[in-house]
C-alpha cells in the first residue's frame, strides 16, 4: 500500500476546502502522500500550505475540473505514473445550488448533475483499473443526507446525490472481490465554504425544513468518515440524525413530507 515515496497515496477531489480538505489534513497527519484535486490553483496552493503547517509532509496539487472526463483520466494516469499506485480515492468535489424547481433553469439542473454525479464517476472510472491491478484500494464517495428523502428546494441537488448513492451501492458489490473497498458518506449540513455559498440561494422554506438537522464541523465529519471507511463500512453516517435516518428513512418519509407541506403552506400564504 505504498507509492514511489514509500507512503500510501490518497487522491482527494474537492481537496482545497471543506470536507475534502479536512480529510486530507487528518490523513496527512497519519503520513499519507496527498494529491489534492480542485479547479482553482490558488485555493489548492493555500490548502497545501495549510496542510504543511498542520503536519502533512508530502502534498501535491493538480488543477482539474471534475466535469471534464478527459482531464480526470489524464490526472489519474499522471498520478499512477509517478507513484505506481493509488490507495485511496475520495470524491469530495461538488456543488449545491438550492432553489424551488420552477425557479431553477434547466442548465442548472444539468450543471449540478455534471459536477456532483459525473464529477464523481469521471474519477472513479479511471481509478478502478489501477486498483484492480493492485488488488487493493479504497474508494469513498461523498453523497448527502439529502439522498435519503426528497427535500423541497433541492430538486436539482438531491437527484445527483441519490445517483451517487446508487453508484456506490452497485460498485461495492461489483468490486468487493477485487480487494477494493467502496464506501459512501452521507454528511448532514456541514460548516464549509460550499455551505455558505449554498445559503445564498436557499429558499426560506428550505432553511426551516433543514434547520432540524443542525450543523456539523467539517473536521468532525471527516473524522467519522475516515474511521468508518477504514473499518470497511459501506455507509458512513456522521451525526446522530443521519445514523437514525439511514435505517429508518422509509418509515420517517411520510412524517417528513407532512412536516414539509406544513412549512411550505406557511410560506405560500405570505
Q: Which of the 8 DSSP states describes residue 153?
A: T
Q: How many CB atoms lie within 10 A of CB 73?
A: 15
The answer to whether residue 2 is domain-embedded is: no
The answer to whether residue 3 is domain-embedded is: no
Q: What's the pLDDT at 3?
A: 60
The answer to whether residue 178 is domain-embedded is: yes
- Asked if 259 and 209 count as a contact pair (C-beta separation under 8 A), the reply is yes
The answer to whether residue 233 is domain-embedded is: yes
Q: What is the largest CA-CA distance in the chain?
A: 63
The answer to whether residue 4 is domain-embedded is: no
Question: Dihedral angle at the C-alpha atoms of 160, 76, 34, 178, nearest 10 degrees?
Answer: 80
For 177, the grid coordinates are 472481490
The answer to whether residue 76 is domain-embedded is: yes
Q: How many domains does the chain have?
A: 1
Which tens digit of pLDDT belongs to each residue from 182-200? 999 999 999 999 999 999 9
The answer to whether residue 50 is domain-embedded is: yes
3-class DSSP state for residue 156?
coil
Q: Nearest Cα to 127, choosing from 72, 174, 164?
A: 72
Q: Binning pLDDT at 50, 70 and 90, where does residue 270 land?
A: confident
CATH code assigned at 159: 3.40.50.720
Q: What angle do CA 84, 87, 93 make, to 5 degrees?
A: 110
Could you list the active site residues? 143, 157, 161
Q: Tell me the whole-structure pTM to 2 decimals.
A: 0.95
Which tens digit of pLDDT belongs to each residue from 79-112? 999 999 999 999 999 999 999 999 999 999 999 9
CA separation (Å) from 168 to 41, 68, 110, 221, 249?
A: 29, 20, 21, 19, 18
Q: What is the layout of strands, in order, in the sheet containing 88-91?
A: 59-63, 33-38, 9-13, 88-91, 137-142, 180-185, 235-236
- Asked if 8 and 2 count as a contact pair (C-beta separation under 8 A), the reply is yes
The whole domain housing 229 covers: 9-268
Q: What's the pLDDT at 2?
A: 58
pLDDT at 1 over 60: no
Amino acid at each position: 500500500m505504498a507509492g514511489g515515496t514509500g507512503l500510501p497515496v490518497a487522491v482527494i477531489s474537492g481537496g482545497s476546502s471543506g470536507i475534502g480538505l479536512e480529510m486530507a489534513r487528518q490523513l496527512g497527519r497519519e503520513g499519507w502522500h496527498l494529491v489534492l484535486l480542485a479547479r482553482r490553483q490558488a485555493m489548492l496552493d493555500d490548502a497545501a500550505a495549510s496542510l504543511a503547517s498542520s503536519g502533512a509532509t508530502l502534498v501535491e496539487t493538480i488543477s482539474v475540473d471534475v466535469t471534464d472526463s478527459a482531464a480526470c483520466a489524464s490526472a489519474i494516469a499522471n498520478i499512477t505514473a509517478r507513484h505506481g499506485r493509488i490507495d485511496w480515492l475520495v470524491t469530495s468535489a461538488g456543488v449545491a445550488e438550492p432553489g424551488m424547481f420552477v425557479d431553477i433553469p434547466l442548465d442548472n439542473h444539468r450543471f449540478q448533475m455534471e459536477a456532483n454525479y459525473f464529477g464523481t464517476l469521471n474519477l472513479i472510472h479511471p481509478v478502478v483499473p489501477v486498483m484492480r491491478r493492485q488488488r487493493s484500494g479504497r474508494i469513498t464517495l461523498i453523497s448527502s443526507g439529502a439522498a435519503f428523502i426528497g427535500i423541497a428546494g433541492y430538486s436539482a441537488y438531491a437527484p445527483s446525490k441519490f445517483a451517487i448513492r446508487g453508484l456506490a451501492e452497485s460498485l461495492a458489490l461489483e468490486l468487493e472481490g477485487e480487494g477494493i473497498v467502496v464506501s459512501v458518506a452521507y454528511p448532514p449540513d456541514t460548516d464549509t465554504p460550499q455551505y455558505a455559498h449554498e445559503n445564498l440561494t436557499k429558499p426560506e422554506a428550505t432553511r426551516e425544513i433543514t434547520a432540524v438537522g443542525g450543523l456539523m464541523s467539517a473536521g468532525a465529519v471527516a473524522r467519522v468518515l475516515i474511521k468508518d471507511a477504514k473499518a470497511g463500512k459501506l455507509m458512513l453516517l456522521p451525526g446522530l440524525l443521519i445514523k437514525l435516518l439511514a435505517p429508518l428513512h422509509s418509515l420517517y418519509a411520510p412524517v417528513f413530507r407532512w412536516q414539509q407541506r406544513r412549512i411550505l403552506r406557511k410560506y405560500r400564504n405570505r
